[in-house]
Structures are given as C-alpha cells and as structure tokens.
Amino acid sequence: MHFLRGICGSNEGQKWRMEAQSLIDAEAPGGERHEQMIASFNRGYRAFEQSYRTCTPAADFAIRRYLEEGAKIAREITARYAN
C-alpha cells in the first residue's frame, strides 16, 4: 500500500509506513520476529516498485483489493474478539 498509494497520488505521505510500524509496535516482537516483519514490509514495497512505474488500472485495482481485504480482516477480528 505504501508504494502503490504514493504513485497513485493519494498524498498520504508516510501513512502506510506508519500503519505498519503501529502493527509492529502493537505486537512488540523481539529479535528475529521483529526483523522478519520489517523485511516483509520492505519486500512488498520493492516488489511493487519493480512492477509499477506509474499508477495503472492494475495498480488501482490492487489498492482496492488490499483495502477491501484489510477491512474484511478487521471486521472478522472485531467480531471474534470484541467480547
């Protein structure tokens, strides 16, 4: 999301990097797990950076899919653990 939203003109700055950092902070992983989470974020960023140079319909579609999937996961987590 961080890379794709940037090339598609969302003007969100570091929002998605900060969201990822918030998730890492909430889990508070130590050592290797912490490094794995950061490496995963960076791998995703680089993969999209290599695939997209400009905002294309495919990039826009990927953004929508990630937003929809994230919202679904958040709803499911809330429904399951909110009690």
pLDDT for residue 83 is more than 70: no
Q: What is the mean pLDDT of residues 19-42?
A: 90
Q: What is the pLDDT of residue 13?
A: 79
Q: What is the mean pLDDT of residues 66-78?
A: 92
Q: Which residue has the higher pLDDT, 54 or 19?
A: 54
Supply the mean pLDDT for the chain. Answer: 90
pLDDT at 29: 87
Largest CA distance in the chain: 44
Q: Distance (Å, rounded) from C-alpha 72 to C-alpha 59? A: 20
pLDDT of residue 9: 83
Query: What pTM does this model have?
Result: 0.74
Query: Residue 67 and residue 75: Cα distance in Å, rounded?
Result: 12
Residues 23, 1 contacting (CB under 8 angstroms): no
Percent of the chain exceeding pLDDT 70 equals 99
Q: Are 4 and 59 in contact (CB under 8 A)?
A: yes
